[in-house]
Amino acid sequence: MSAREHGAVAPAVRARRFLGAFRLAIAVLEVVALIGNFQYVLSFRLFATQNFFSYFTIQSAFFAVVVLVVAGAYALLAPRDPTWLGVVRTIATVYVVVSGIVFALIVSQASTFDYRMEVPWSDTLLHFVVPTLVLVGWTTDSVLAVNPPVPWSTVAWVLAYPSAWLVFTQVRGADVGWYPYFFLDESQVGGWVGVLIGCLVCLVIFVAITAVLVAVNRRLWRMAAARRAAPRGTRRRRAPRVDEPAPRR
């Protein structure tokens, strides 16, 4: 490798290492938030412990921790992430971001119904701080454009787990008489039509946010690839379209 090539690679390697450490730091913060939130709900005498693990926010947080640890290891030890990891990281990002959006809406609407809702530090970490940091890390990775672009099929894959979770939650809720979110309880939303509308709205939000993230990632990837392809010292012109690598089958 020439000195010129080495000079171009070194910053990318340093950026990958920093990104890996950042991913691992977010994972640690998420674990702290989960432990703190569990201790908080234990203070409620009538709260069933098993209900804690039924929240989509909690399940997506555990999923995010695993994904962040794996992604952090890849960033520290490998020059780039595999395509499947880009898909999984995007899905994990969508899950924690949607959890934060839904929680913010619930908190904002609580006062409308004269309901006082506390937001302890653990909920602040889980629903606001961690989603923001995950989104920052995901965006940084897209700007670096070292990894393969995120495929559009991610938009379909993102619905797999929320759909299964909604079905499980309805079955369990009918059995135990408890639902993690009010819009899943027919008695609170005017019947099954209200439940169906709430579920559809959630799924649309998942699809919309995923589509935006994939579009942004692929746009940033093309821009970075065009910059790398342009010879140094030439006048800046409008970059030609750069073909993306064919997806592996």
Q: Please give the structure tokens belonging to residue 239.
A: 């970059």
DSSP symbol at 182: G
Query: What residue has token string 């894959």?
Result: 157
Does residue 6 carry a pLDDT above 60? no
Cα(189)–Cα(79) distance, integer angstroms:
50
3-state secondary structure of 230: coil
**pLDDT at 138 (0 to 100):** 93
Kindly state the average pLDDT of the residues 162-166: 93
Q: What value does the mean pLDDT of the chain take?
A: 85
Cα(243)–Cα(245) distance, integer angstroms:
7
Does residue 226 carry a pLDDT above 80? yes
The amino acid sitting at 52 is: F
Cα(91)–Cα(84) distance, integer angstroms:
11
Share of the chain above pLDDT 70, in %: 84
**pLDDT at 181 (0 to 100):** 83
CB 151 within 8 A of CB 59: no
Cα(228)–Cα(237) distance, integer angstroms:
13
3-state secondary structure of 246: coil
The structure's pTM equals 0.84
The dihedral over CA atoms of 217, 223, 226, 230, expressed in degrees to the nearest 10, equals -140
**pLDDT at 242 (0 to 100):** 56
Q: Which residue has the higher pLDDT, 20 or 231?
A: 20
pLDDT tens digits, 113-160: 555 667 889 999 999 999 999 999 999 999 988 899 999 999 999 999
Cα(152)–Cα(15) distance, integer angstroms:
26
**pLDDT at 105 (0 to 100):** 80
Q: Please give the structure tokens belonging to residue 220.
A: 């940033």
Cα(139)–Cα(150) distance, integer angstroms:
12
End-to-end CA separation in angstroms for the chain:
32
